[in-house]
Structure 1
Amino acid sequence: MVRTMRGIFSSLILLGAIVAGGPAFSQATAVGQHRDWGTYSYQSDSGKVCYVMSVPKAKEPASLDHGDIFFFVSQKPGQNVAFEPQFIAAYDLQEGSKVTVTVGGKSFTMFTQGKSAWLENAAEEPQLLAAMKAGTDMKIAAKSGRGNDTGYTFSLLGLTAALESIQSCK
């Protein structure tokens, strides 16, 4: 339950900030750009939040309007959250569905809540991040609330430098 609540809270802050242009996002500071990954920070009630973010290079099927799609890795020292991966779609994901993240030959399963997804097993976060740092691209497979199978390809170029830039987030 703690994992689910933490994820829901994270999603509400980030999604509300992005979609609604809320205070956190509008006050977010761009820290830097590392190839295909941007780094940002903002001050929340619980302390500073730092994150790296990228958008997909490819969206499938091309015939669908996917809207804005993001992959985040967040650092929230005030909430004891370190390097938490999160996928955010512009649409509701199918209730009870899973999102699959594939990097190289390794796959990871994410649970969904609304427009967001987090690793089903939080203990796998370091393994996913290690695979991302070693990889060149990452594939995401999801199912929309309307039942459409969707796929996204994210470049991993610049991820390691981006993560290093938020290492000392305080």
Structure 2
Amino acid sequence: MALKLARVVAGLCLAALASTATAQATSNNRVAAKVDWSVFEGDNPNECWGVSAPKETVNTRDGRVVAVRRSEIQLFVTFRSSDAPKGEVSFTGGYPFAPGSTVNMAIGESEFELFTEGEWAWPATPADDAKIVTAMKRGTNAVLTARSARGTQTKDSFSLLGFTAALEDAEKRCSK
């Protein structure tokens, strides 16, 4: 019952965050580049985020590699100058995730579960965000595995080179 309630709460939070995530994906306000990560700064409300695209993407169906069309694939960590939680992790896979599915995020020996809504995925709680950010600071890459609504299994590998510098820059910009 507790897991079901947590998923309902997470789903409501995901819906609220979707509009922010959409704005993040379409911003032209790039203010810095840190190796494989970029830093963006929003206008109103003041938001700052680090973002990266995957270095490698593998799509499979029935155990075979397949070519599929996907829109932007990005991994974010967002900061706001408001009282919102700091360092919110989000991921867009570039396709609608299978309903009720989760995204597995592996960083070194650590694994995390992200809940999905449409084309977006997030950790369930701010405490999970903090654990993921800590793992990302220590890691060299993050691998996100998910399933599309059409049954395609995707595996996106992100470099974490420059992550800590981008994270610190984004947080500093939004602490004004």
Q: TM-score, normalised by structure 1?
A: 0.86
Whether 1:92 aligns to 2:105 is no
> Are the equivalent residues in 1 in contact too, given 2:10–2:115 (CA < 8 A)?
no
> Are the equivalent residues in 1 in contact too, given 2:35–2:162 (CA < 8 A)?
yes
- Greater per-residue strand proportion: 1
Moved more, 57-66 or 90-99: 57-66
Query: How many residue pairs get matched?
Result: 161
Q: CA deviation at 1:3?
A: 4.8
Moved more, 49-58 or 70-79: 70-79
Change in Cα spacing, 1:29 to 1:3, as seen in structure 2 (3 Å) is same
Identity %: 29
What letter matches 1:37 in structure 2? W
What are structure 1's unaligned runs of at least 5 residues?
none
Whether 1:12 aligns to 2:19 is yes
Tell me the residue number matched to 2:161: 157
RMSD of aligned alpha carbons:
1.8
What are structure 2's unaligned runs of at least 5 residues?
1-7, 60-65
> Are the equivalent residues in 1 in contact too, given 2:105–2:145 (CA < 8 A)?
yes
Residue 65 (structure 1) aligned to one of 56, 64, 69 = 69
1:96 & 1:162 partners in 2: Cα distance?
A: 32
Whether 1:128 aligns to 2:132 is yes
What letter matches 1:71 in structure 2? L
SS of equivalent to 2:171:
coil
2:78 & 2:12 partners in 1: Cα distance?
A: 16
1:82 & 1:31 partners in 2: Cα distance?
A: 19
Change in Cα spacing, 1:12 to 1:131, as seen in structure 2 (3 Å) is same
Q: CA deviation at 1:63?
A: 2.1
Q: Which has more radius of gyration?
A: 2
Whether 1:147 aligns to 2:151 is yes
Tell me the residue number matched to 2:4: none
